[in-house]
Structure 1
Amino acid sequence: MTVQGSAVTFTEYSADIPKIVHSTDFTIDPNAIKEDQILIKALATPINPADLMQLRGGYNDAPDIQLGTEPNDKPLHVGGNDGVFKVVKAGSGSKASKYKEGDLVIPKLPAFGTWRTYAIAGADDVINVNGLTVEQAATISVNPATAYQLLHNYVSDWKEGDYVIQNSGTSQVSRYVSQIAKLDGVKTISVVRDGKSQEEIDELKKFGAEHVISHSEFNDEKFDITKYTKGAPVRLAFNGSGDSTVAHLVKSLSQKGQLLSYGFLGGAEIKYSAVDQFAKDLVTRRYWLTANTYADPEGKVDTIKRLVELYSSGKIKDVPYNKVHYKQGGNEEISKVFLEGLANFKNGKGKQVLFYD
């Protein structure tokens, strides 16, 4: 029996995303998959800012993807870089035989094209994440992985009481940073936009933030970080937005501290004091999960394995997000449901994850 699937596809890049995305239906014959392949069914796939940048072009360009067991009528890109799938059938080869029906898996590499109801994957192209809930597995590949690598790829000798400081303090990445840092006794200072309610601030502290500081307080020229750190070293600063706080992140770093920029939604220019950099022997560098994963795929696998352990042992917990639902064979096209999630994201409703019912 064949499997009928649907995907969010595009053939050109543009900032006008509603104009370029379409729904494409396809057919998979499970008996036609190769011995080293597995057939997987989508359970939940996020809509990340990096995914939208990919659609605009020039960022992690999407490859052409064959959707079904027969070639597409024309070359197609499929959106989405992460998500969780369930194994439906495994090929007869030795590599595929390590998977069984019902296993939860996530793509190993970016640009997999996760916004589709079914996919054929190489046995070496996915990571087994059994032991997680679907909600955890859906987002583990990007935000928790980014937080883990930010904390562990650049400092290997954390000491109890060390600090990290981060802007984009309400983001998903920042909430995972706070949780994971706390496991090593590292304290987190999260900088947030003005106007956050006490309830929102308290929630960040529940996720492990030691201190939460508003933009206006942090950007004041008289601001002194030692008010919060009491002289403890601030070893890393995480820039997720490229906004006006960057100069003060650098200013807050201690001797031989590092600024790691992993996002630039607030702008493309990063400005900070050369005097501070020179006097403190500071390092400023970019962090890009996609590039890291392509350069060191097994490093990504190790990161995911460690995160699975942390989730399974209850040492970290899910960060809430908004769910949008697509029903295969229903009245709505998959691209329409995707655009609903995109609208929610643009209207400030937080991270969106497409669930397949």
Structure 2
Amino acid sequence: MLAVVVNEINKLSSIEVREIEPPQPESNQVLIESVAAALNFPDLLQIRGKYQIVPATPFVPGKEAAGVVIAVGTDVEHIQPGNRVLVEVDYGAFAEQVTADAQRTFLLPDEIEMPTAVAMGLVYQTAYIALTERASLRAGETVLVTGASGGIGLASVQLAKAFGATVLAATSDPTKFDAVRYAGADHVIDLSMAPLNDKLRDQVYAVTGGKGVNVVLDVVGGQAFDASLRSLAFGGRIVVLGFTSAEIPNIKSNYLLLKNIAAVGMTINGYFAKQPEIVNAAQVEIINLWRQGKIRPNIHAELSLHEFANAFEMLENREVVGKVVLSLG
């Protein structure tokens, strides 16, 4: 089968598409014929050797794919060959066939196309759980989303709006303002203004009547996190989802104390490991919201497996609005 193969860590020129042996499912796994796979920012970190999980080379990157089940392990009961599914893995998704744990395999309705399904996987699950489980978002509250034009960002904007929140979408690229508005943002916050520590809060206060926001979902880190923390209302909650700025901030705990602020983290891998039932429930609700027309993933580009280098370049250059999908079917 054809697959994208990383031969050397932190060397994009070492990545190639070539034939490899197809994987075989273990007793608790499924094997799918992949139709589409989606890129995520952690894929780039993994290839660069900067992610929590760095496989031994050579390895196949990619964290999610959608396709049709062609075989199941002996212990798998609720999934059958022929089922249309979304699968999520630590790596291995950028290939014509993919194995995945049954626990991380989600049945898809017939009416959803595979590229749409895979573009609505990890990022929407992450955003859904961040808003509902970690931020305890309530209808009528205000939400600030940093990195709002990326995969998790756009998903967060759409879901927060679907949950009845007023959404402030923050991005540093003016060319992406229209995209976040189209996704449902009520207000756009410009992260390119300096000094950001003051300018972000000024913009937030201007549209919230000086109250600040109830919830922040932060994927950027660095100065954006520091400034977002200052924009929270009394009793606000900030959820740490990543550090696309490559800067990990330090939190001054006295500030949390003075404004009764809660700062929490969230990674989807932790839920897969400890509370997979929450991910399953989130996926059911995500599909329901899609059926109701309340969420729609933005596919920035759909490329072939052989165009993987273009896909990685788009991701690394921060050109992507939403998701890039690789077509394998």
Is the TM-score greater than 0.5?
yes
SS of the residue aligned with 1:291? helix
Instruction: Provide the rounded CA distance (Å) in 1 between the counterparts of 2:102 and 2:268.
Output: 22
Pick from 204, 208, 220 the counterpart of residue 180 of structure 2.
Answer: 204
State percent identity of aligned pairs. 20
Instruction: Provide the rounded CA distance (Å) in 1 between the counterparts of 2:195 and 2:181.
Output: 18
State the Cα deviation string for residues 264-322 of structure 1 (Å, max 9, x = none).
12132315665533310222232222223222222211111111111122221122321
Match of 1:343 in 2: 313
Aligned residues of 1:10 and 1:22 also touching (Cα < 8 A): no
Match of 1:23 in 2: 18
Match of 1:82 in 2: 64
For the structure 1 residues 288 and 90, does the alpha-carbon distance in structure 2 shift closer, same or farther, using more than 3 Å as the test?
closer
Please state how far the C-alpha of 1:190 moved relative to its aligned partner. 1.3
Q: Which has the larger radius of gyration?
A: 1
Tell me whether 1:238 sits opposite 2:223 in the alignment. no
Taking the TM superposition and a 5 Å limit, the aligned residue runs for 1:1-357 are: 5-10=1-6, 12=8, 14-19=9-14, 23-26=18-21, 38-57=30-49, 59-62=51-54, 76-89=58-71, 95-96=76-77, 98-101=79-82, 103-108=83-88, 110-121=89-100, 123-131=102-110, 132-156=112-136, 158-160=138-140, 162-193=141-172, 196-197=174-175, 200-215=176-191, 216=193, 219=196, 221=198, 223=202, 225-230=204-209, 234-271=213-250, 276-326=255-305, 334=306, 337-350=307-320, 351-357=323-329
Instruction: Provide the rounded CA distance (Å) in 1 between the counterparts of 2:7 and 2:97.
Output: 20
Match of 1:330 in 2: none
State the Cα deviation string for residues 117-162 of structure 1 (Å, max 9, x = none).
01345545522122422122112221111211111112436142x1
Instruction: Provide the rounded CA distance (Å) in 2 between the counterparts of 1:170 and 1:58.
Output: 23
Instruction: Provide the rounded CA distance (Å) in 2 between the counterparts of 1:257 and 1:125.
Output: 32
Aligned residues of 2:189 and 2:204 also touching (Cα < 8 A): no
Aligned-residue CA RMSD (Å): 2.9
Instruction: Provide the rounded CA distance (Å) in 1 between the counterparts of 2:203 and 2:99.
Output: 54
Instruction: Provide the rounded CA distance (Å) in 1 between the counterparts of 2:10 and 2:215.
Output: 33
SS of the residue aligned with 1:269? coil
Please state how far the C-alpha of 1:209 moved relative to its aligned partner. 0.7
For the structure 1 residues 152 and 126, does the alpha-carbon distance in structure 2 shift closer, same or farther, using more than 3 Å as the test?
same
- Normalising by structure 2, we get a TM-score of 0.85
Aligned residues of 2:217 and 2:241 also touching (Cα < 8 A): yes
Unmatched segments (≥5 aa) in structure 2: none
Aligned residues of 2:299 and 2:325 also touching (Cα < 8 A): no
For the structure 1 residues 210 and 27, does the alpha-carbon distance in structure 2 shift closer, same or farther, using more than 3 Å as the test?
closer
- Normalising by structure 1, we get a TM-score of 0.79
Paired positions, count: 323
Instruction: Provide the rounded CA distance (Å) in 1 between the counterparts of 2:263 and 2:304.
Output: 41
Instruction: Provide the rounded CA distance (Å) in 2 between the counterparts of 1:128 and 1:84.
Output: 10
Please state how far the C-alpha of 1:59 moved relative to its aligned partner. 2.1
For the structure 1 residues 261 and 218, does the alpha-carbon distance in structure 2 shift closer, same or farther, using more than 3 Å as the test?
farther
